[in-house]
Structure 1
Amino acid sequence: MAAIGLISIDNYDDLIEKKDDKQVSYLNSLITTLISDWASENSVFYKRINSERFLFVAKDSDIDRMKEDKFQFLTRVRQVAEKNDLPLTISMGIAYGQESFEVIGEEAQNNLDVALVRGGDQVVLREAVEDAKPQFFGGNTDGTPKRTRVRSRAMSTALKKIFAENQRIFIMGHRYPDMDALGSAFGVAYMAMMSDKECYIILNPKEITADIERALEELKKYPDLERLVISADEAIDLSNDDSVLVMVDYHKPSMSISQAVYDAFEKIAVIDHHRRGDEFPDKPLLTYIESTASSAAELVAELIQYRAARKSLLPKFISTALLAGIYVDTKNFTVRTTGRTFDIAGYLKNQGADTSLVQYMLSTDLDSYLMISELVSRSKHFKEDIVIAAADEDRVYDSVTVAKAADTLLSINGIHAAFVITKQPGDLIGISARSTGKVNVQTVMEALGGGGHFTNAATQIKGSNIDEVEHRLRNELINHDQ
């Protein structure tokens, strides 16, 4: 079988910025030498197709050999880059199969797109047949920010066009939504209202955490916004051919608040900041996934910036909810923040966001604090810098409490990764994973059916118990070290 691959220099534009012609020439020579040596070792034909892309053709046996080696070429590139003090990483999209070269080539391009959306520095390999599962290799460094203001403005324009072509806009986050999901949902609703469209936010009243409950209590002060919140059944009744569903803060259909609502829509748009997994909607109208953004709220607030008139102010509840979403996912601006994050936070504050209200909505009551303390007390060292806390089998925890427990463990000196395993509503066993950046918890959670970010990930497992899940996690951590 034939295999086609595409190689991308993840951050080529950043590498050559402010370099003179001589330095750019040296960099291009270094990259070409690395790829040429690798191609010779693996008996593949390659060709540079532009400044930052290479194409290669190989046999499936060559790809099998690379898989056995776990694509160590990625590590070699990083090591050479470190010696030369260059922030250089590469990504690959590879496809193989019995199909035509056209089909295999298109699949290779799709795989490369997935690798880049997931943050780069990794290989995505998939057979060019329907329902084949992609395989992921690498991803051992955090992503390089690639979002530009031009791209953000283009996405804002594209979303405006989608709203213009539809009458009813439905917005849905993931199950047991946090403030990032709720804030970004109201942000998208505000953009829909700017387009004079009917809009609705879907929530399940049986899956409400304490912070969302406090936010909904505050929402009662804004009747015009409160009426936007509807149930899944109401959404299905209201939907028609002129409706579009916007997924915020998630992209896996199985994580939807309501699977029935997701299935009812043919037209879907996705706004998310999690690294893309293999589960994804078929042919969405718009895909705006930026894994280097702090939160979905940051992405949505930036889209609003390009839509809102200069003199108009966001409703106070929406600006506050968006800021709360950023607070949640950045742990009060201590992780995964960029200059853009602070710019957006400043914009929201100028739009009337109430920081004292943010603190109230995100506060922890005494019962939750005691539950967090109990989980922390049950932690054990897997390694000197990795801890695992496994809860009592008979107690059910909400996802917010579990996440806060993982954050607390990670704040302990010398701990670089923390995993908290608990029983969750719906007969699920959940793992909340946190890392300082030395461990890629995303790949660990993906191996257990979940996903997330390089430093912040989770999974939910059905039909198992806490001891079995802990055993699977320990095995996966052992494999991750190999």
Structure 2
Amino acid sequence: MTVIGIISLDNYDDLIDQMDDKYISTLNSLVTTIISDWANSYHIFYKRLNSERYLFVANEYNLEEMQEKKFPILNQVKEAEMHSEFILTISIGISYGQDDIESIGERAQMNLDLAQARGGDQVVVRGEDPDSKPLFYGGNTDGTIRRTRTRSRAMSVALKRLFSENKKVFIMGHRFPDMDAVGASFGMAAIAQMVGIKPYILINYKQMNPDMSRCLEELKQYPELNELLIEEEEAIASIDKQSLLVMIDHNKPSLGISELVYQASEKVIIIDHHRRSEEFPVRPLLTYIETSASSTSELVSEFIQFLTTRKQRLPRLVPTLLLAGIYVDTKNFIVKTTGKTFDVASFLKSKGADNPLIQYLLSSDLDSYLLISRLVARSKYYRKDILISVAEDEEIYDSITVAKTADTLLSLNGINASFVITKQADDKIGISARSTGKINVQAIMEALNGGGHFTNAATQLSGKTLEEVQELLYVELDQRNFNEE
């Protein structure tokens, strides 16, 4: 079978931005040499398309050999001396099959797009069978920062145009929403109101956690915001051809508050900061997935910066909810924090974000604190920098308590990754995973039918016991040689 692959340099522009011409020429020669040597080792045809992209053509035997060796070219490029403070990474999209060359090439481009949407530094391989799962290789470094003010402004303009072309906007976060999903949802609703159309925020009152309960109580003091909340049945009845669905803080339809609302929506927009998974909406109108962002609240706040004027101001409480979302996903500005994060936080403070209220919304009550302490006490070392906690059989935990436990374990000295396994609602066993950035917990959770972010991921498994899920996690860690010192 014919195999077509496309190689892209993830952060080429960042590298050459401050290089003089001599080093740029050296960089181009070095990368071309690495790729040429790699291609020649398999006796495949390759061609440089431009400064950032290469094309290669191979056969099935070559691909099997590449997969067996797990694409060492990823590390060869990263370890090369580039005379830059940045580390160069590459992404590769590969497709194969017996159909026409044009179709194989188009799928290779789609696979490359998927690799880059997941943060780059990885290979995605998928053939002609539409039901087959893509195979991922690499992905061992965090996402490359591609977000610029120019791109953020362009996305805000595109959002404004799409909103203005429709009459209703339905905004949906993920199941059991955290403050990032809530803050980003109300921020997106504020954008819709600035454009002059009616927003609706989907909610499921059965999917509540302590943080959300406090938030809902606070919203009662703001009737203009509280009236935006809508439940599944009412939303489905209201959706028509002039409606948009905005998926916030998730890109897998199965993770949304309501799959029925997603299925009823013809027009979909995705705003997220988690790595793209294989399950993805078909032909969304607009996709903005920035894995380098601290949170979806940060992305939405950037849009708002370009749309607010003296006449169009943020509703009260919205800046507070957005900043609370950033607090949650950055662990109080410790994880995934960049200069852009502080710029956005400063903007939200200038718009009236209330820090004491944020502290109240994110606080833990005594019962939750005791549950967290109990889970921490049950943690054991997998190796000296990885902790795993498994709950008691009879206890059922909400996702927020489990996530806070994983964060607590990660904050301990010398710990690079933590996993908390608990029984959750609907007879499911959940794993909440956290990392300092040295271990890709998203790839581990994906292998267990979950997903998430490089440093923040989770999964839920049905029909398993706590012991069985623990064993599955151990097997996955063992396969990745994490048991080695």
Residue identity matched to 2:367 = D
Q: Which residue of the partner structure matches residue 431 of structure 1? A: 431
Task: Give 1:131 deviation, angstroms.
Answer: 2.1
Q: In the alignment, is the contact (CA less than 8 A) between 1:314 and 1:352 conserved in 2?
A: no
Q: Does 1:417 align with 2:439?
A: no
Q: Which residue of the partner structure matches residue 205 of structure 1? A: 205
Task: Give 1:481 deviation, angstroms.
Answer: 2.0
Tell me the distance in 2 between the aligned counterparts of 1:421 and 1:78.
34
Task: Give 1:316 deviation, angstroms.
Answer: 2.3
Q: In the alignment, is the contact (CA less than 8 A) between 1:114 and 1:276 conserved in 2?
A: yes
Tell me the distance in 2 between the aligned counterparts of 1:424 and 1:235.
27
Tell me the distance in 1 between the aligned counterparts of 2:67 and 2:213.
47
Q: Give me the TM-score of the superposition, normalised by structure 1.
A: 0.98
Q: Which residue of the partner structure matches residue 440 of structure 1? A: 440
Q: Which residue of the partner structure matches residue 135 of structure 1? A: 135
Q: 1:81 to 1:137 in 2, by over 3 A?
A: farther
Q: 1:86 to 1:198 in 2, by over 3 A?
A: closer
Q: Give me the TM-score of the superposition, normalised by structure 2.
A: 0.97
Q: Which residue of the partner structure matches residue 122 of structure 2? A: 122
Q: Which residue of the partner structure matches residue 369 of structure 2? A: 369
Q: Which residue of the partner structure matches residue 346 of structure 2? A: 346
Q: Which residue of the partner structure matches residue 388 of structure 1? A: 388
Tell me, which stretches of 5 or more residues in structure 1 are unaligned? none
Tell me the distance in 1 between the aligned counterparts of 2:408 and 2:303.
33
Q: Does 1:274 align with 2:274?
A: yes
Which segment is superposed worse, 305-314 or 210-219?
Answer: 305-314
- Listed as ranges, the matches of 1:86-105 within 5 Å are 87-105=87-105
Q: Which residue of the partner structure matches residue 163 of structure 1? A: 163
Q: In the alignment, is the contact (CA less than 8 A) between 1:316 and 1:354 conserved in 2?
A: no
Tell me the distance in 1 between the aligned counterparts of 2:76 and 2:481.
17
Q: Deviations over 1:191-210 (max 9, x none)?
A: 11111111110010000111
Q: What SS is found at the alignment partner of 1:429?
A: strand
Tell me the distance in 2 between the aligned counterparts of 1:312 and 1:84.
43
* Aligned-pair Cα RMSD in Å: 1.3
Q: In the alignment, is the contact (CA less than 8 A) between 2:23 and 2:83 conserved in 1?
A: no
Q: What SS is found at the alignment partner of 1:475?
A: helix
Q: Which residue of the partner structure matches residue 49 of structure 1? A: 49
Q: Deviations over 1:165-202 (max 9, x none)?
A: 11111000000000000111111111111111111100
Q: In the alignment, is the contact (CA less than 8 A) between 2:14 and 2:86 conserved in 1?
A: no
Task: Give 1:85 deviation, angstroms.
Answer: 6.3
Q: Which residue of the partner structure matches residue 113 of structure 1? A: 113
Tell me the distance in 2 between the aligned counterparts of 1:408 and 1:362.
15
Tell me the distance in 2 between the aligned counterparts of 1:197 and 1:143.
34
Tell me the distance in 2 between the aligned counterparts of 1:385 and 1:275.
24
Q: 1:93 to 1:387 in 2, by over 3 A?
A: same
Task: Give 1:311 deviation, angstroms.
Answer: 5.6
Tell me the distance in 1 between the aligned counterparts of 2:439 and 2:256.
28
Q: Does 1:235 align with 2:235?
A: yes
Q: Which residue of the partner structure matches residue 71 of structure 2? A: 71
Residue identity matched to 2:26 = Y
Residue identity matched to 2:62 = D
Task: Give 1:296 deviation, angstroms.
Answer: 0.5
Task: Give 1:129 deviation, angstroms.
Answer: 2.9
Tell me the distance in 1 between the aligned counterparts of 2:290 and 2:248.
12
Task: Give 1:368 deviation, angstroms.
Answer: 0.4
Residue identity matched to 2:316 = K
Tell me the distance in 1 between the aligned counterparts of 2:53 and 2:200.
42
Q: Which residue of the partner structure matches residue 220 of structure 1? A: 220
Residue identity matched to 1:108 = A
Q: Deviations over 1:397-419 (max 9, x none)?
A: 01110011001111111111110
Tell me the distance in 1 between the aligned counterparts of 2:318 and 2:332.
18
Q: In the alignment, is the contact (CA less than 8 A) between 2:118 and 2:143 conserved in 1?
A: yes
Q: What SS is found at the alignment partner of 1:481?
A: coil
Q: Which residue of the partner structure matches residue 331 of structure 1? A: 331
Q: 1:312 to 1:39 in 2, by over 3 A?
A: same
Tell me the distance in 1 between the aligned counterparts of 2:23 and 2:195.
49
Residue identity matched to 2:70 = K
Q: What SS is found at the alignment partner of 1:392?
A: coil
Q: In the alignment, is the contact (CA less than 8 A) between 2:15 and 2:84 conserved in 1?
A: no
Tell me the distance in 2 between the aligned counterparts of 1:99 and 1:159.
37
Q: 1:392 to 1:307 in 2, by over 3 A?
A: same
Q: In the alignment, is the contact (CA less than 8 A) between 2:194 and 2:312 conserved in 1?
A: no
